[in-house]
Protein backbone atom coordinates (compact mmCIF):
# COMPACT_ATOMS: atom_id res chain seq x y z
CA UNK A 1 0.00 0.00 0.00
CA UNK A 2 3.02 2.28 0.27
CA UNK A 3 2.23 3.38 3.83
CA UNK A 4 4.58 3.79 6.77
CA UNK A 5 3.23 2.02 9.87
CA UNK A 6 4.13 3.09 13.41
CA UNK A 7 3.37 0.95 16.46
CA UNK A 8 2.92 3.03 19.62
CA UNK A 9 4.29 0.25 21.76
CA UNK A 10 3.94 -0.46 25.46
CA UNK A 11 7.33 -2.05 26.16
CA UNK A 12 6.06 -4.22 29.01
CA UNK A 13 3.51 -5.94 26.75
CA UNK A 14 6.39 -7.65 24.95
CA UNK A 15 7.04 -9.58 28.18
CA UNK A 16 3.44 -10.70 28.68
CA UNK A 17 2.20 -14.26 27.97
CA UNK A 18 0.61 -14.47 24.54
CA UNK A 19 2.72 -11.66 23.10
CA UNK A 20 6.03 -13.50 22.86
CA UNK A 21 6.12 -13.23 19.06
CA UNK A 22 4.92 -9.62 18.79
CA UNK A 23 8.41 -8.10 18.51
CA UNK A 24 9.35 -10.55 15.75
CA UNK A 25 6.11 -9.74 13.91
CA UNK A 26 6.85 -6.01 14.05
CA UNK A 27 10.39 -6.55 12.78
CA UNK A 28 9.29 -8.88 9.97
CA UNK A 29 6.85 -6.23 8.74
CA UNK A 30 9.32 -3.35 9.18
CA UNK A 31 7.00 -1.51 11.56
CA UNK A 32 8.52 1.50 13.29
CA UNK A 33 8.37 1.17 17.08
CA UNK A 34 7.70 4.21 19.26
CA UNK A 35 7.79 3.36 22.96
CA UNK A 36 7.47 5.33 26.19
CA UNK A 37 10.31 5.35 28.70
CA UNK A 38 9.79 8.19 31.18
CA UNK A 39 13.37 8.06 32.46
CA UNK A 40 16.61 6.11 32.12
CA UNK A 41 16.77 5.23 35.84
CA UNK A 42 14.94 2.42 37.62
CA UNK A 43 13.72 4.46 40.59
CA UNK A 44 12.07 7.17 38.50
CA UNK A 45 10.38 4.76 36.09
CA UNK A 46 9.06 2.43 38.79
CA UNK A 47 7.82 5.39 40.80
CA UNK A 48 5.81 6.67 37.83
CA UNK A 49 4.70 3.40 36.21
CA UNK A 50 4.86 0.77 38.95
CA UNK A 51 7.31 -1.74 40.40
CA UNK A 52 9.08 -3.87 37.82
CA UNK A 53 8.19 -1.70 34.81
CA UNK A 54 11.75 -0.51 34.29
CA UNK A 55 13.21 -4.02 34.34
CA UNK A 56 10.61 -5.29 31.85
CA UNK A 57 11.18 -2.25 29.65
CA UNK A 58 14.93 -2.89 29.55
CA UNK A 59 14.32 -6.56 28.66
CA UNK A 60 12.04 -5.48 25.81
CA UNK A 61 14.52 -2.92 24.50
CA UNK A 62 17.25 -5.56 24.48
CA UNK A 63 14.92 -7.88 22.55
CA UNK A 64 14.17 -5.16 20.00
CA UNK A 65 17.90 -4.44 19.62
CA UNK A 66 18.54 -8.15 19.05
CA UNK A 67 16.01 -8.08 16.19
CA UNK A 68 17.78 -5.08 14.65
CA UNK A 69 15.72 -2.21 16.03
CA UNK A 70 17.84 0.86 16.73
CA UNK A 71 20.83 -0.70 14.97
CA UNK A 72 22.36 1.41 12.22
CA UNK A 73 21.70 0.05 8.74
CA UNK A 74 18.92 -2.33 9.80
CA UNK A 75 16.09 -0.15 8.51
CA UNK A 76 14.19 -0.82 11.76
CA UNK A 77 13.53 2.42 13.63
CA UNK A 78 13.21 2.47 17.42
CA UNK A 79 12.16 5.74 19.01
CA UNK A 80 11.65 6.43 22.71
CA UNK A 81 9.21 8.90 24.23
CA UNK A 82 9.69 11.12 27.28
CA UNK A 83 6.78 12.74 29.11
CA UNK A 84 7.36 15.10 32.06
CA UNK A 85 6.62 13.57 35.45
CA UNK A 86 4.45 16.50 36.52
CA UNK A 87 2.66 19.71 35.46
CA UNK A 88 5.59 21.29 33.62
CA UNK A 89 6.90 21.48 30.07
CA UNK A 90 9.54 19.02 28.83
CA UNK A 91 13.21 20.08 28.65
CA UNK A 92 14.99 20.65 25.31
CA UNK A 93 14.68 17.47 23.27
CA UNK A 94 18.18 17.32 21.76
CA UNK A 95 20.06 17.46 25.08
CA UNK A 96 17.75 14.96 26.75
CA UNK A 97 18.20 12.56 23.82
CA UNK A 98 21.97 12.70 24.31
CA UNK A 99 21.54 11.91 28.01
CA UNK A 100 19.23 8.96 27.27
CA UNK A 101 21.59 7.50 24.67
CA UNK A 102 24.61 7.82 26.96
CA UNK A 103 22.94 6.29 30.02
CA UNK A 104 21.14 3.44 28.24
CA UNK A 105 24.19 2.41 26.24
CA UNK A 106 26.71 2.67 29.06
CA UNK A 107 24.53 0.86 31.59
CA UNK A 108 22.56 -1.61 29.45
CA UNK A 109 24.16 -1.70 25.95
CA UNK A 110 20.86 -0.44 24.53
CA UNK A 111 20.66 1.48 21.24
CA UNK A 112 17.80 3.55 19.87
CA UNK A 113 17.39 6.04 17.05
CA UNK A 114 15.77 9.09 18.57
CA UNK A 115 13.99 10.48 21.61
CA UNK A 116 10.71 12.36 21.39
CA UNK A 117 9.77 14.77 24.18
CA UNK A 118 6.01 15.12 24.39
CA UNK A 119 4.04 17.60 26.49
CA UNK A 120 1.53 16.06 28.87
CA UNK A 121 -2.01 16.68 27.70
CA UNK A 122 -4.51 17.88 30.35
CA UNK A 123 -6.86 14.99 29.53
CA UNK A 124 -7.62 11.43 30.63
CA UNK A 125 -5.51 10.12 33.53
CA UNK A 126 -3.12 13.08 33.69
CA UNK A 127 -6.05 15.50 33.59
CA UNK A 128 -7.73 13.60 36.43
CA UNK A 129 -4.56 13.76 38.52
CA UNK A 130 -4.31 17.51 37.95
CA UNK A 131 -7.94 17.97 39.01
CA UNK A 132 -7.49 15.84 42.13
CA UNK A 133 -4.48 17.93 43.18
CA UNK A 134 -6.07 21.27 42.32
CA UNK A 135 -3.44 21.90 39.64
CA UNK A 136 -5.55 21.70 36.48
CA UNK A 137 -6.18 25.42 35.98
CA UNK A 138 -2.56 26.35 36.76
CA UNK A 139 -1.34 23.84 34.18
CA UNK A 140 -3.78 25.14 31.57
CA UNK A 141 -2.54 28.66 32.29
CA UNK A 142 1.05 27.45 31.76
CA UNK A 143 0.15 25.93 28.38
CA UNK A 144 -1.69 29.05 27.24
CA UNK A 145 1.04 31.41 28.43
CA UNK A 146 3.65 29.27 26.62
CA UNK A 147 1.69 29.29 23.34
CA UNK A 148 3.99 29.77 20.33
CA UNK A 149 2.20 30.70 17.12
CA UNK A 150 5.03 29.38 14.94
CA UNK A 151 4.21 25.84 16.08
CA UNK A 152 0.89 25.97 14.20
CA UNK A 153 2.58 25.20 10.90
CA UNK A 154 3.96 21.89 12.18
CA UNK A 155 1.34 20.44 14.53
CA UNK A 156 0.67 16.80 13.67
CA UNK A 157 -3.05 17.24 12.99
CA UNK A 158 -2.11 19.13 9.80
CA UNK A 159 -0.35 16.15 8.23
CA UNK A 160 -1.52 13.02 10.08
CA UNK A 161 -4.77 11.35 11.09
CA UNK A 162 -5.56 8.84 13.83
CA UNK A 163 -7.70 5.75 13.20
CA UNK A 164 -9.29 3.60 15.91
CA UNK A 165 -9.70 -0.18 15.79
CA UNK A 166 -13.13 0.17 14.12
CA UNK A 167 -11.81 2.42 11.36
CA UNK A 168 -13.20 5.70 12.69
CA UNK A 169 -11.06 8.71 11.83
CA UNK A 170 -9.80 11.46 14.15
CA UNK A 171 -7.59 14.50 13.58
CA UNK A 172 -5.13 13.24 16.22
CA UNK A 173 -4.83 10.55 18.88
CA UNK A 174 -5.70 13.01 21.64
CA UNK A 175 -9.00 13.80 19.95
CA UNK A 176 -9.49 10.06 19.66
CA UNK A 177 -9.01 9.68 23.43
CA UNK A 178 -11.61 12.41 23.95
CA UNK A 179 -13.99 10.84 21.42
CA UNK A 180 -13.89 13.92 19.16
CA UNK A 181 -14.12 12.48 15.63
CA UNK A 182 -13.00 14.20 12.45
CA UNK A 183 -15.62 16.36 10.75
CA UNK A 184 -17.19 14.86 7.66
CA UNK A 185 -15.84 16.30 4.42
CA UNK A 186 -19.14 17.85 3.40
CA UNK A 187 -19.14 19.83 6.64
CA UNK A 188 -22.74 18.98 7.42
CA UNK A 189 -22.12 17.28 10.75
CA UNK A 190 -20.64 18.46 14.02
CA UNK A 191 -17.95 16.57 15.90
CA UNK A 192 -20.38 14.99 18.35
CA UNK A 193 -22.67 13.58 15.65
CA UNK A 194 -23.17 9.81 15.80
CA UNK A 195 -22.56 9.48 12.06
CA UNK A 196 -18.79 9.38 12.43
CA UNK A 197 -16.20 9.75 9.73
CA UNK A 198 -14.90 6.31 8.74
CA UNK A 199 -11.72 5.38 6.91
CA UNK A 200 -13.82 4.06 4.04
CA UNK A 201 -15.30 7.56 3.62
CA UNK A 202 -11.96 9.17 2.82
CA UNK A 203 -10.13 6.55 0.78
CA UNK A 204 -9.41 8.19 -2.54
CA UNK A 205 -10.58 11.56 -1.21
CA UNK A 206 -8.50 14.72 -0.82
CA UNK A 207 -8.70 15.70 2.85
CA UNK A 208 -5.93 18.31 2.82
CA UNK A 209 -7.29 21.64 4.00
CA UNK A 210 -10.34 20.17 5.72
CA UNK A 211 -11.47 21.62 9.05
CA UNK A 212 -9.65 20.34 12.15
CA UNK A 213 -11.56 19.82 15.40
CA UNK A 214 -9.86 21.76 18.22
CA UNK A 215 -10.34 22.38 21.96
CA UNK A 216 -8.32 23.68 24.91
CA UNK A 217 -6.13 20.56 25.09
CA UNK A 218 -4.63 21.64 21.75
CA UNK A 219 -2.53 24.19 23.65
CA UNK A 220 -0.42 21.20 24.68
CA UNK A 221 0.86 20.85 21.12
CA UNK A 222 1.58 24.56 20.64
CA UNK A 223 3.26 25.39 23.96
CA UNK A 224 7.00 26.02 24.24
CA UNK A 225 9.06 23.97 21.77
CA UNK A 226 5.85 22.36 20.54
CA UNK A 227 4.80 18.75 20.79
CA UNK A 228 3.70 15.97 18.45
CA UNK A 229 3.94 12.23 18.02
CA UNK A 230 7.36 13.05 16.54
CA UNK A 231 8.46 15.00 19.60
CA UNK A 232 9.36 18.68 19.73
CA UNK A 233 8.38 20.83 16.74
CA UNK A 234 11.16 23.43 16.80
- Of the candidates 123, 125, 103, which has an alpha carbon nearest to the alpha carbon of residue 112? 103
**For residues 143 and 122, is the Cβ–Cβ distance under 8 A?**
yes
The percentage of residues in the chain with a pLDDT greater than 90, rounded to a whole number, is 70
Residue ranges per domain, the chain?
Answer: 1-117, 134-234
Residues 116-157 have pLDDT tens digits of 998 999 999 889 989 999 999 999 999 999 999 999 999 999
CB atoms within 10 A of CB 127: 18
Position 1 confidence tier, pLDDT thresholds 50, 70, 90 = low
Q: What is the pLDDT of residue 187?
A: 54
Query: What CA–CA distance (Å, rounded) separates 41 from 209?
Result: 43
Strand-by-strand arrangement of the 114-117 sheet: 6-9, 32-36, 78-82, 114-117
H or E stretch covering 114: strand 114-117
Question: Has residue 194 got a pLDDT over 70?
Answer: no
Query: What CA–CA distance (Å, rounded) separates 80 from 61?
Result: 10
pTM reported for the whole predicted model: 0.79
More confident residue, 202 or 229: 202
Question: Has residue 190 got a pLDDT over 50?
Answer: no
Question: Has residue 2 got a pLDDT over 50?
Answer: yes
Question: Has residue 176 got a pLDDT over 80?
Answer: yes
Residues 47-106 have pLDDT tens digits of 888 899 999 999 999 999 999 999 999 999 999 999 888 899 999 999 999 999 999 999
User: How far is the first Cα of the chain from the last one, in angstroms, to the nearest whole number?
Assistant: 31
Amino acid sequence: MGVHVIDRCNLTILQEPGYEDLAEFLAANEVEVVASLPCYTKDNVDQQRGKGVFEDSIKSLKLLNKLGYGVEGSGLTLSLVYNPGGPFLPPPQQQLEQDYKKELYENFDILFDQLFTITNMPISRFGSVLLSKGEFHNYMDLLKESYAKENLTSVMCRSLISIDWQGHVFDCDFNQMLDMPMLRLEGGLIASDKNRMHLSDILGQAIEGSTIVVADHCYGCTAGQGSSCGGALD
